[in-house]
Amino acid sequence: MSEYVWLTVTGEQTHPDGTAEKNTSRSRARHEILSDGSHVLVSEESLEDTGKKVTSRIVVSDHRITVEKSGDYASRMVFETGLSHSLAYRTPYGTLPMTIQTSHVMALAVNDNLHARAKYDLIYQKGEPVRCSVTIRTEKIPQDTPDKMP
């Protein structure tokens, strides 16, 4: 069974020189819970600079988070505590090879809401790691307001 939720994804990055960035996106997403207890979130958003659509598919389990994006900025990021995964981040200007080294993954589902977080280092080629985190939250959409942002 699937339902629609508000999906909020917050990414934080701290660069080797100490500068920090934080970005948050909020969209309507289809939320499905699989038989193994994994949560699947599928959403679509428009890119600010081009207006092109990007489809995101996030799968959250107790020990792993996978974020897949399709479109002009395609990627597949896998977060598993203590493991490294390679990533090919595709842009209209070329593909950037990166490595994700995850230090922590946690997921908690309470009532109809999901909260998940991954802490990781992002390494571009052989450069210094960028300290990052991603937080994923869902909030059930009341049935009488399916198309309005809160």
Has residue 21 been placed in a domain?
Answer: yes
pLDDT in tens, 76-95: 999 999 999 999 888 778 88
CA distances from 47 to 72, 73, 138 (A): 10, 10, 21
Segments forming the whole domain that contains residue 123? 2-140
**Tally of domains in the chain:** 1
Q: What is the pLDDT of residue 28?
A: 94
Between CA 32 and CA 130 the distance in angstroms is 32
The DSSP letter of residue 33 is: E
Has residue 126 been placed in a domain?
Answer: yes
Neighbours of 88 (CB within 10 A): 11
Has residue 88 been placed in a domain?
Answer: yes
Has residue 34 been placed in a domain?
Answer: yes
For the four alpha carbons of 121, 122, 124 and 129, in that order, the dihedral sign comes to negative
Has residue 83 been placed in a domain?
Answer: yes
Q: What is the pLDDT of residue 145?
A: 57
Has residue 150 been placed in a domain?
Answer: no
The enclosing domain of 9 has a CATH number of 2.40.128.20
Has residue 145 been placed in a domain?
Answer: no
Has residue 146 been placed in a domain?
Answer: no
Residues of the chain with pLDDT > 70, as a percent, come to 93
Quote the tokens at residue 18: 């100490």
Q: What is the pLDDT of residue 90?
A: 81
Between CA 107 and CA 41 the distance in angstroms is 14
pLDDT in tens, 3-57: 999 999 999 999 999 999 999 999 999 999 999 999 999 998 777 777 778 899 9
